[in-house]
Amino acid sequence: MFVLRLNKSGMPQAWITPEEATKYYAQERVLFELGETTKIMRGGHNSQGVQSTIELSSIIACEGKVTNLDGKISLSNRYLFRRDNFLCLYCGQKFKPSLLTRDHIIPRSRGGKDRWANCATACTRCNCHKADRTPEEANMSLIAVPFVPNLYERFYLMNRRILADQMAFLGNHFSKNQRWRIDEP
* Position among 3, 6, 62, 126 found at the interface with Zn ion (CB under 5 A): 126
CA–CA–CA angle 55, 60, 65 (5° rounding): 130
* Position among 88, 100, 120, 157 found at the interface with Zn ion (CB under 5 A): 88
Q: Could you please report the per-residue DSSP string of 64-103? A: S-----TTTS---HHHHHHHTTTB-TTT--B--GGGEEEE
* Position among 73, 91, 138, 168 found at the interface with Zn ion (CB under 5 A): 91
- Strands in 59-62's sheet, in edge-to-edge order, are 12-16, 3-6, 59-62, 30-33
Q: How many residues of this chain interact with Zn ion, rule: CB under 5 A?
A: 5
Q: How far is the CB of 173 from Zn ion (least distance, A)?
A: 31
162 is a contact residue toward Zn ion (CB under 5 A): no
Using a 10 angstrom Cβ sphere, with 0-12 exposed, 13-18 middle and 19 or more buried, the burial of residue 81 is buried
Nearer to Zn ion, 5 or 104 (CB): 104
Q: How far is the CB of 88 from Zn ion (least distance, A)?
A: 3
Q: How far is the CB of 93 from Zn ion (least distance, A)?
A: 6
Nearer to Zn ion, 39 or 125 (CB): 125
* Position among 123, 151, 162, 163 found at the interface with Zn ion (CB under 5 A): 123
Distance CA 151, CA 164 (A): 18
